[in-house]
Amino acid sequence: MSAPNEQNLYEAALRYLERYASSAENLRRVLQRRIKRWEIRTKEKAPLGADAWIESAVHKCVALGFVNDARYAEHRIASLRRQGRSTRYIQQALALKGVPQAVLRAQLASDAETEEEAARRYVQRRRLKRNDKDLAKLVRAGFSLNVAKKALAD
């Protein structure tokens, strides 16, 4: 990899976005890791404008519509719900990806699937039975005790 500059960071961002959906903060972290790997490999310090170049690349991607935190959160929530994930799990997973809390709350509020439906789906996917061990699995997965009991009773 050649020395980082504004153009090759933007191109790296586009290559990343071709393969993965991302939040703006996650894309920023990806580009920062790229700079860090370059520093380690070459044993040189990053050029002075590197942080500004990263911000510029992220801003361009957002402005062009390649990165949209609300759309990313909506699709990720739907995917995690299909897996039978709890709201707590979803909040943590999206927070780790850098989705702003306001966006996350808005998308979760518009989520049509209930916690009980997600718990039932989790029970089906994991083929859980009606015993204390499986009840504990549901609670560890982020479901409340009442929701877990209802999901196992169905």
Q: pLDDT tens digits for 20-38?
A: 999 999 999 999 999 999 9
Would you kindly state where each structural domain of the chain is located, as residue ranges?
6-63, 69-153
- Residue 34's contacts (CB-CB under 8 Å, 6 or more residues apart) are 1, 4, 9, 12
**Which residue type does 104 have?**
L
pTM of the shown model: 0.84
70-123 pLDDT, tens digit each: 999 999 999 999 999 999 999 999 999 999 999 999 999 988 778 889 999 999
